[in-house]
Amino acid sequence: MENVPENLKTFKNAILFLIIFQCLIVMGMVTFLLYSFVGEYLSIVTVISAMLLLMVCLPVSIHLYLSAKEKDLKTLFKYMVLNFLLLSISGIIWYLVPASFNWHLLPYIGKMLMLIACGILPLSLLIIIRHPQIDIRPVHKYIAVLLNIAAGIGILYFIMANIGGSGNYYDIFIYGLCIFIDTGILIYSAFLIMAYSTPKFRYAFFIWFLFFFFSIIGDSFNLLGYMGLYDTLEYSQIFYDVMLILGSAGLILYSMAYARPRALACLSRKHDRSADMGYERVLTVPGSMCVCDHGGNAVMMSDSFIDMLKLSGNRRQMFNILMYAGASIDGQKAIKRIREGDAVTINGIKYFDEKDGSRILSLKVFPMFSNDGKISSYIAVAEENKKS
């Protein structure tokens, strides 16, 4: 009987190998099928990168979105899915359809879809960066805005000063805006990488940073080429190909590390026993207690905690303890201490109750650690001080 687990593990690995082998065969067939249509004006490497976008980036991002539990990651991967979906449609309209139908407007439509696909990504980063639990000082947020404004002015000035007699106004408009969007994504991704201490979050934002690091180089080469300054149009696709190849590899590695059920099970087994005991006691202790994940999202609440904050339905599901901590006078400092692993008592948290009006609560937050010494969750105790 002792060999059963090992045999089962070998069997699962064999099944996984067969699945990977079949996927590689399918991707190879799709690659050669696409190349037969567009091989006259696209290289085999470009066709492979397009196949990776359609058959790797898009499915893996959907898997990451469905498996993500943290709100910030779910927001990021949702917009990632939209981006890859629009880019796939853009590529089909831009390259594949014109091979069968000689419609001159199709490349223009494809480029506009590409611009829209890139334009929706800053929305996800802005939504995440505005969350109270993100440890970014207001002055740094202002710096990010100023950097984006400076980049926009610089790009506009460069185009107006060098456009000369070029008649490619549509392409210049598209790639000028793309460079501006790329710059914003790089800036906000860098700030979010520095703001998060958890590798799971840092690696997710680094994937975006990697994508758009190569994207901005390719867009710049296209802009210079369409403006007639340098003969760089034929080199831009190299950076797009590298972007998709490295980005696909990054998404696969990230998915294997953080989105596999087995990996999640291993992570859950690393939780400290004291944390597990704390979770079980939350529903039985008389105090108003709540267990939150490392992002501050509530995973378990005592009845008295629910009654005190009048949480029900959707409000209970959307509850985030760090958002309430951020509502206090020293909220950002308190959040920073909490994320560093200190036990913190926060007084003067204003909370509005529809029935009782404005109330003031105090909040005690205690970090829980896993066996590797990292914060796995938080336990919060709420007390009502007075009514205002």
Structural domains counted in the chain: 2
Predicted confidence at residue 354, as pLDDT, reads 59
For residue 42, which of 245, 178, 241 has the smallest C-alpha distance? 241
pLDDT on residue 2? 44
Three-class SS state of 299? strand
Q: State whether 338 and 356 are in the same domain.
A: yes
Q: Measured between alpha carbons, how far is 268 from 182 in angstroms, rounded to an integer? A: 37
pLDDT bracket for residue 177 (50, 70, 90): very high
pLDDT in tens, 308-341: 777 776 677 777 777 766 656 566 677 777 777 7
pLDDT in tens, 64-108: 999 887 788 889 999 999 999 999 999 989 888 877 777 788 989
Q: DSSP letters of 329-379?
A: TTHHHHHHHHHTT--EEEEEEEEEETTTEEEEEEEEEEEEEBTTS-EEEEE
Split at pLDDT 50, 70, 90, the class of 1 is very low
Same domain, 100 and 231: yes
User: How many percent of the chain have pLDDT more than 90?
Assistant: 32
State the DSSP string of 122-139: HHHHHHHHTSTTS---HH
Structural domain range at position 251 = 30-265
Under 8 Å between Cβ of 48 and 63: no
Residue 78 belongs to a domain: yes
User: Residue 34: inside a domain, yes or no?
Assistant: yes
* Statement to judge: residues 165 and 181 lie in one domain: yes
190 and 288 in a single domain? The answer is: no
